[in-house]
Amino acid sequence: MNFLKRFYSICEDFLHRLYSGDANELLEIKPTDSLARFLLQSSHFSHTKFRVKPGALLPNRDGETSVFMVSELDEHDIWQIGYKHLSEPLGRTLYARAEVFASLVEGVGLQIEFDNTPPRHANIVGWPEEKSEQKLRALELASDARLILNPEEYP
Amino acid sequence: MNAFAISGHGMPLSLTNLGVSEDARDLQKRIADVLGDTLGERHEKIRSSLESVFDECSIDNWDGYDAQAVTVDTYLESRRFFSLLPSTIPLPEISAEPDGEIAFEWMEGRQNIFSVSIGANKLTYAGLFGMNKAHGTEYFGDELPQAILFYLRRLFA
């Protein structure tokens, strides 16, 4: 009976996360969730060496690194998030995205604040004050990040 | 018989010509031309990369996440930093950072990376050397700080 209750709970949570688009509904980010950082600057990655550069993940002046939780989305939907919220409003090219697991962020001593505004948006926070320490954390994140090139730009 | 001793200690390279014949002088000139072209190519590549990054990142919010613009001063300091690097160090990859600084990065495998950010009279660095890590800040005066040279040599040892 306990097994069925637990199974039901997991299914309910999965369906809720899959279909929730309500900005007022907060979702919990799990360690295995993928966080995407959309890259509008070509020097933030190497498409020949297929790697993300640490500068792509450093925080802005507010101490935040903006990401989107993209678990359980297909490629088309993931790229649409980047186009809708970044590329099109700014008129900039969406070159690629970097993806890291939430567990990696926490593994380097940072935190994830999930605000779901816009939907699926979160910030990586908890960066050290000292820039050299920030660079080190960014190096560690970048070394394990996955680079996914936008097929529209790199067919 | 022509004999040459070629030594290089960063910039510039020097040639010691032990031969005095016309052939020796001609060979010396040819070697100098090749080395000069090689060094010229290095400078041109980095100059081009720096210009490209500056062009794309010299306005606020160049990354879509509220990044600060790269200034002309930072661009010029970056060129000065490169001019002080030993010519034996491989060419770095160059990128801009959200605080408007320019970063030079070298990589020898995913867990062997060294990055230096160029700021106003300041160099901020961080590196992964396998299981080892390093980070710090150095004053950027007329010479390249020894700490930077130390970690570059460590990376390529």
A1-44 tens-digit pLDDT:
666 666 665 556 555 555 444 444 456 789 999 999 999 999 99
pLDDT score for A29: 86
Judge whether residue B52 has pLDDT over 80: yes
Higher pLDDT, residue B15 or B105: B105
Q: Which of A29-33, A125-129, B149-153 has the lowest mean pLDDT?
A: A29-33
Contacts with A62 from chain B: Cβ below 8 Å:
66
pLDDT score for B109: 85
Task: Report chain A residues touching chain B, CB-CB < 8 A.
Answer: 38, 40-44, 46, 49, 51, 53-56, 58-62, 65-66, 86-87, 90, 92, 130-133, 135-136, 138-140, 143-144
A102-114 tens-digit pLDDT:
999 999 999 999 9
Percent of chain B with pLDDT over 90: 66
Higher pLDDT, residue B71 or A8: B71
B95-112 tens-digit pLDDT:
999 999 999 999 998 889
Report whether A59 contacts A65 (CB < 8 A): yes
Distance (Å) from the alpha carbon of A1 to chain B's nearest alpha carbon: 47
Cβ separation of A43 and B98 shorter than 8 Å? no
Q: Which residue of A has its CA nearest to B53?
A: A43
**Is B9 near chain A, with CB under 8 Å?**
no
Please give the distance of CA A74 from its chain centroid, rounded to a whole number: 14
Q: Is residue B145 very low, low, confident or very high in pLDDT (cuts 50, 70, 90)?
A: very high
pLDDT score for B6: 35
What tokens does A4 get?
């069925």
Report whether B106 contacts A115 (CB < 8 A): no
A56-113 tens-digit pLDDT:
999 999 999 999 999 999 999 999 999 999 999 999 999 999 999 999 999 999 999 9
Q: Is the ipTM of this complex over 0.90?
A: no
Long-range contacts of B7-16 (CB under 8 A, 24+ apart): B8/B87, B8/B88, B9/B86, B10/B84, B10/B85, B10/B86, B10/B87, B10/B88, B11/B39, B11/B83, B11/B84, B11/B86, B11/B87, B13/B39, B13/B87
pLDDT score for A11: 59
Alpha-carbon gap, residue B123 to B109, rounded angstroms: 23
Best to test chain B binding among A61, A64, A135, A140 (most B CBs inside 10 Å): A135
Residue B152: how many other CB atoms lie within 10 Å: 23
Alpha-carbon gap, residue A135 to A31, rounded angstroms: 23
B79-94 tens-digit pLDDT:
999 999 998 999 999 9
Would you tell me the crossing angle of helices B22-57 and B72-84 to the nearest 10 degrees? 150
